[in-house]
Structure 1
Amino acid sequence: MRHALRRALFTVALPALLLLLWLAASDGGDSVYFPPLRTILGSFAEVWNADRLAHDVLPSLGRLTAGYTAGAVTGVAAGILIGTHRRVRATAEPVLEFLRAVPPPVLVPVIMLFAGIGDTMKIVVIASGTVWPVLLNTVEGARAVDSVLSETARSYGITGLARLRRLTLPSAGPQIFAGLRQALSLGLILMVISEMFAASNGLGFAIVQFQRGFAIPEMWSGILLLGLLGFALATVFRLVERRVLRWYHGLRAAGRPS
């Protein structure tokens, strides 16, 4: 219990310190484009009420969840297939290197042509960006399965789904979660970008509308909310990761010198 409290304190200490420094440095400032944090916080309380959260934040979270889930499932499935079959990897690798070099924001106009400007477009944009870190990390994790364990499983006749569930996924788990962690931050960025192009609601849409209306404190309050949202999602992800990979973190802790 004490260790968990200490970890939670360290997690919030640096963001709180940065906010205090921002508050002290900006207090008394008169810049139109960089208003004091005190003004931004006042606008934050006024703007992000229950109606605004339901109209803008919840739809954004829904799109992020759908796109992130689609990218994660596709990345893990394709990564396991490519990582465990040498011929598939040799065939697919050049194509993957080409596709992952294309920045996802560049694809937004192309995706708009066949997916329209609704939620489908935004979900596809998020999925098209989040799939790559998950896929590439899963490939490397599947390739790095211990050869002794692999031969042992083969000698005992452990194949198919049993091999996938008992050997491949646990061995690749740490790298899969590393890819999922990278994809989460990328998905948040793509969520905002997709909502800036064509939308009638969402966090990205709200920030652009504030900017176009020269509501600068309100715009900064949206950016602050976006940062807080990213921090909250990262914290939840870390808790899930530690629970799922508790065996891995236990082995690492046991291997550290006392």
Structure 2
Amino acid sequence: MNRFWFVPLVVAVWEALTRFQDDLDFPPPSTIAARMHELWFSGPAARLFLTDAAVANLLPSLARMFTGWTLAAAAGVLAGILIGRSRTALDYVAPLIQFGRSVPPPLLLPFFFVLLQGSLATQLAGIVFGVVWPVLLNSIDGARSVEVLQIETARVFGLSRAEQIVRVILPAAAPKVLAGLRLSLSLALIMMVISELFAGTDGIGYQLLQAQRSFDTPAVWAAIALLGLLGYLVNSLFVLVERRLLGWQRA
């Protein structure tokens, strides 16, 4: 906490420099903060001070982001554990995984749009495809790192394959799985914005695009700052959850 003094220092320098330059394309932080408050946080108390624009754009964006991330997390962890525990399966699918993770997800948004015929489905597909790879790879690595002695002990005690996964493999692989999930959260935020820029009718990305088209520079920077704050808050919350889940390993 004692290092947070650096943040207001950077903001103060930023404020001074932008006011000295007086460039309309680079407004000072005070102007950006005022625009953020006007756009999203000056509504009635009944809505927790959210404006109509916030309700119409911010909340749908978060819903899409977490829905896509949850789908990718479930698929990535399940497939990763199963593949990681089978050497034969890994040998077959490893080239496909390396190929898939090398494809830039934004390039597939037009394909998803044509295939799925819907903006919401396109956005979710883009988020899932962009997010699933770190979860899948970390889950595979975590499953492979489980010691043979742990598996043999589980077999001696008569645990079924499903029980071995739930009670032995997942806890042992949890640190690497959670690391993949944490990384994928940042990617989910990025893909949420990109998908809304491409196929959105609402959301933070769509609002950012409209601000660019109307040359509303403070609103553009306000959206960028909001995305940065959301990324920081989401990551901080996940770190707290991660520490709680892995507390047993530090005991």
TM-score scaled by structure 2? 0.91
Report the counterpart of residue 47 of structure 2 in structure 1. none
Is 2:169 the counterpart of 1:177? no
DSSP-derived class of the 1:27 partner: helix
What is the rounded CA distance, in whole Å, between the counterparts of 1:14 and 1:235 in structure 2?
18
Post-superposition CA distance 1:74-132 (Å, at most 9, x none): 00010011001111111111111111111111111110111224211111110111110
Report the counterpart of residue 198 of structure 2 in structure 1. 197
Matches within 5 A, 1:125-204: 125-204=126-205
What is the rounded CA distance, in whole Å, between the counterparts of 1:83 and 1:14 in structure 2?
43
Report the counterpart of residue 6 of structure 1 in structure 2. none
Report the counterpart of residue 46 of structure 2 in structure 1. none
Moved more, 162-171 or 29-38: 29-38
Measure how far apart 1:18 and its partner are.
3.2
DSSP-derived class of the 1:223 partner: helix
Q: Which amino acid aligns with 1:24?
A: A
Report the counterpart of residue 117 of structure 2 in structure 1. 116
Post-superposition CA distance 1:138-181 (Å, at most 9, x none): 00000000122122222222232221111100010000000001
Is 2:106 the counterpart of 1:105? yes
Report the counterpart of residue 25 of structure 2 in structure 1. 33
What is the rounded CA distance, in whole Å, between the counterparts of 1:217 and 1:29 in structure 2?
16
DSSP-derived class of the 2:21 partner: coil
What is the rounded CA distance, in whole Å, between the counterparts of 1:84 and 1:18 in structure 2?
48
Identity %: 41
Report the counterpart of residue 231 of structure 1 in structure 2. 232
Q: Contact 2:123/2:199 (CA < 8 Å) preserved in 1? A: no
How many residues are paired up? 242
Moved more, 110-119 or 132-141: 110-119
Q: Which amino acid aligns with 1:149?
A: Q
Report the counterpart of residue 213 of structure 1 in structure 2. 214
Q: What is the CA RMSD across the aligned residues, in angstroms? A: 1.6
Measure how far apart 1:35 and its partner are.
1.3
Q: Contact 2:83/2:89 (CA < 8 Å) preserved in 1? A: yes
Q: Closer, same or farther in 2 for the Cα pair 1:184/1:26, shift >3 Å?
A: same
Report the counterpart of residue 11 of structure 2 in structure 1. 19
Matches within 5 A, 1:48-67: 48-49=40-41, 50-67=51-68
Measure how far apart 1:17 and its partner are.
4.1
What is the rounded CA distance, in whole Å, between the counterparts of 1:117 and 1:176 in structure 2?
32
Q: Which amino acid aligns with 1:102?
A: V
Measure how far apart 1:11 and its partner are.
7.7
Q: Closer, same or farther in 2 for the Cα pair 1:192/1:10, shift >3 Å?
A: farther
Q: Which runs of 5+ in 2 are unaligned?
A: 42-50
TM-score scaled by structure 1? 0.89
DSSP-derived class of the 1:65 partner: helix
Q: Which amino acid aligns with 1:222?
A: A
Moved more, 177-186 or 151-160: 151-160
Measure how far apart 1:247 and its partner are.
1.4
What is the rounded CA distance, in whole Å, between the counterparts of 1:72 and 1:20 in structure 2?
39
Q: Which amino acid aligns with 2:214?
A: G
Q: Which runs of 5+ in 1 are unaligned?
A: 1-8, 252-258
Is 2:69 the counterpart of 1:68? yes
What is the rounded CA distance, in whole Å, between the counterparts of 1:131 and 1:232 in structure 2?
21
